[in-house]
A and B are shown apart, each in its own frame.
Chain A
Amino acid sequence: DTAVSQTPKYLVTQMGNDKSIKCEQNLGHDTMYWYKQDSKKFLKIMFSYNNKELIINETVPNRFSPKSPDKAHLNLHINSLELGDSAVYFCASSSGSGANVLTFGAGSRLTVL
């Protein structure tokens, strides 16, 4: 059983399109995150939800809109895709916010042409 699963694993699309990435965790965690890993491998926090409530929103363009329908799911919708959005997007979860172990999904590689 996959603890944190993301779909799709690969996404290739044209500039200007809108796309979504979905994430689900079966660990019973109440906090979920989106991290972006760019071509230089830097892992940067984008958003965090705790029990469906947004608790972290880093300086991310408002073209990115996260949504958490329940504490086991966190989706990421991106409007008007730009070349610079190309990256690997990792979903992660933890038991509570703060100083707790993060479990990552396998990542979704987004390529914008």
Chain B
Amino acid sequence: GENVEQHPSTLSVQEGDSAVIKCTYSDSASNYFPWYKQELGKRPQLIIDIRSNVGEKKDQRIAVTLNKTAKHFSLHITETQPEDSAVYFCAAISNQAGTALIFGKGTTLSVSS
């Protein structure tokens, strides 16, 4: 089955700096890679996703890159703001029957002003 590793587990940056979170996956059949943000006491919410037919996707200050050969993908947040402070989860899944999103263990991002 799929296994997703996520690093770092904690990340502290100053407001305005960039933050990068990296994930690797094990199943070469995985073709969908979403990122979820979970604020304290709230539900995980999708912030950006990428499918295996593209290498990069950007949405304002957030971007995701995918390297299928190396089986890793990364989340990039530029110009960080205090409201970016949260736990971020990467995940992976294939289109095979009987699969579900497998999540990394999360990265706690703290942005200090």
Q: Which residues of A contact B (CB under 8 A)?
A: 33, 40-45, 48, 55-56, 90, 97-107
Contacts and interface: CB of A to CB of B under 8 A. Distances in A.
A80 to B, nearest CB: 26
B95 A104 contact: no
Q: Interface residues of A: mostly helix, strand, loop or mixed?
A: loop
Q: How large is the interface on B (under 10, 10 to 19, 20 to 34, 35 or more residues)?
A: 20 to 34
B102 A99 contact: no
A99 B93 contact: yes
Given A40-B105, A41-B105, A41-B106, A101 B46 contact: yes
A42 B99 CA distance: 18
A33 B108 CA distance: 24
Nearest to A109: B41
A7 B89 CA distance: 24
A50 to B, nearest CB: 9
5 closest Cβ contacts across the A-B interface? A99-B32, A104-B43, A43-B103, A98-B95, A45-B100
A58 to B, nearest CB: 8
B34 A43 contact: no
16 contacts: A40-B105, A41-B87, A41-B106, A42-B103, A45-B100, A48-B98, A48-B100, A98-B95, A98-B99, A99-B31, A99-B51, A99-B95, A101-B34, A102-B34, A103-B46, A106-B43
Interface in B87-111: 87, 89, 93-103, 105-106, 108
